[in-house]
A and B are shown apart, each in its own frame.
Chain A
Amino acid sequence: MNTRTTALRERNKKLAIRGLLYVSAVFVCFLLYADPNLSLFGIKPNLLVPLTVCAAMLDGVFAGAMVGTAAGLLTDMVRVSPFGTNALLFAVLAVAVGLLCMLLLRPVVVNALLLTLGASACYYVLDFLLLYAEAGYEWPVFAARYSAPLLVTAALAAAFYYPVRAAARRLRFVV
């Protein structure tokens, strides 16, 4: 009984720490993304996409979907999309990544990069549709405007993969 209680307490403590870490990470990534003065050589990658993908890969479908929902809601605050659109997209992408990693893929860095590339493409296509396609612009605009952010966002998956994996191992997440 005592062992079970202790284990329960330990689990709850780790859950709390996990939650706090994810909330902090989402918040910090959002602030870095939304700041008007920060950019990477003029490019502004959305840091919340690789964070969501890595959380879904390394922590499971549910955790990834929660992180994705929070990340998407914050992204909606600074985009022109109707509020909730990016939240829904990020949640769906997290579920997809989580299920893929559960069934088909191994949670390795290469897969993290590829999955982030796919997720980023979905995110930027939605952005293009809402921002440019509605105004009558065609796909070459997508290539011109979003190629660089897409590639940079995908490349940043490596920067998120290792810290999330380290935290998951330390807190004994399901990996």
Chain B
Amino acid sequence: MRKFLRSWQAKALALVLVLLAALVTSSVVLKGEESWPARLLGYVLTPVQSAQAGVTNAAAEFFDNLVHAGELADENEALESQIAELREQLRDYYNMERENKLYRYYLGLAEAHPDFEFCPAGIVSRTDGDVFGSFVIDKGTLDGVALYDPVVTDGGLVGYVSKIADTYARVTTVLDAGFRAGGTNMRTNDTGVVGGTLTLAADGLCELRYIDRESLMAIGDTVVTTGMTGIFPRDLVVGTIESIGQSAQGVSLTAVVRPTVDVATISQVFVITKFVGQGNSLEEFLASEGTDTSTPAGEASAAGEASVESESETSASEGGTSTESESGTSSESESGASR
């Protein structure tokens, strides 16, 4: 013991203890700031500790995954089923959103036409390559839909039911070359026949034919249905006039009409299953009074435009191909008598 206390080691030790005491004192005085020995040690230790922590973090994660593999698999399975459930909810949400939008349209139409009875329908397929835009809806006779029922959206007239089955129906649109409906200019009350042609259908247009050449109609005028055939209710918006020109025969005017409804892009429609005046055509009424209304133009002559008669015969021959292909449909749509 005495030997040690007298040795240089004891003296060195005493010096070290004194230095350490001084270091502690200076650290206390400095408070927040580290002393230079600590900073010096930090330069050496920090990179080493960072590297080591990186290695142990990776190792810990590896072993953690091994140890908890079973739990992770269970959690994964639970999360996957939760995702599947959420996907279903999302799908239901989108369906409800679409239905909600549909029913808002429905409400608007019902308020505008309180006598209408509607059947909402979705478009389930379109005829491939058909420029006239005909399509199939997901409602049929079991849903109360009948042949020749008008098909509309909140924008206006789309077409009519041209073929029917129990659970689906085919719709012929206003663009179709065989389509016929009585139309009138809302502003000037000029009447004519709404129909389509192959050329116009490619541009999404139809036309209003057999208009009096003295007519004062103008571009931008709105065309609506007359309701005289008993197939389409009156005042259904067809479209707006884009251009006016003379007919091929030169005895009347023909207006190119842009339908308010873009039949190529719609996905939901309404079938009007009942309305006031359904099945009651003016032609039948006049025939019952003894007036001769048996012309191919049908409705146009029933409106009292004699000059249309010869033109309608000509137009029938002009549109012969499309008319013939849709002959059963167009004649039925004209007369409305099949109902």
A83 touches B52 (CB 8 A): no
Let me know if B306 is at the binding interface, CB within 8 A. Answer: no
B41 touches A77 (CB 8 A): yes
Q: Mark A46-88, 1 if CB is under 8 A from B, else 0.
A: 0000000000000011100110010011101100001111011
Given contacts A31-B49, A37-B57, A76-B38, contact A91 B17 (CB under 8 A): yes
Given contacts A31-B49, A37-B59, contact A83 B38 (CB under 8 A): yes
> Which residues in window 4-28 of B have CB below 8 A to A?
4, 9-10, 12-13, 16-17, 20-21, 23-24, 26-28
A69 touches B41 (CB 8 A): no
Docked CA distance A102–B9 (Å)? 15
A35 touches B52 (CB 8 A): yes
Interface centre among B16, B20, B48 (most CB of A within 10 A): B20
Let me know if B35 is at the binding interface, CB within 8 A. Answer: yes
B42 touches A61 (CB 8 A): no
> Which residues in window 137-153 of A have CB below 8 A to B?
none
A35 touches B56 (CB 8 A): yes
Docked CA distance A31–B17 (Å)? 25
Let me know if A135 is at the binding interface, CB within 8 A. Answer: no
- When the two chains form the complex, which single residue of A36, A72, A102 contacts B53, counting CB atoms closer than 8 Å? A36
What's the tally of chain A residues with a CB closer than 8 Å to chain B?
A: 29
Let me know if B73 is at the binding interface, CB within 8 A. Answer: no
Let me know if A38 is at the binding interface, CB within 8 A. Answer: yes
Given contacts A62-B9, A62-B12, A73-B41, contact A83 B34 (CB under 8 A): yes
Docked CA distance A103–B10 (Å)? 16
Closest 8 CB pairs of A and B: A84-B23, A82-B27, A37-B56, A62-B9, A84-B24, A88-B20, A83-B27, A37-B60
With A84-B24, A91-B17 already in contact, 17 other A-B pairs whose C-beta atoms are closer than 8 Å: A31-B49, A36-B56, A61-B9, A62-B10, A65-B13, A69-B16, A73-B37, A77-B38, A77-B41, A84-B26, A84-B37, A85-B24, A91-B13, A91-B20, A95-B13, A95-B17, A99-B1
Question: What are 13 A-B residue pairs whose CB atoms fall within 8 Å in the complex?
Answer: A31-B52, A35-B52, A37-B56, A37-B59, A38-B56, A65-B13, A65-B16, A76-B38, A77-B38, A83-B23, A84-B26, A88-B23, A95-B13
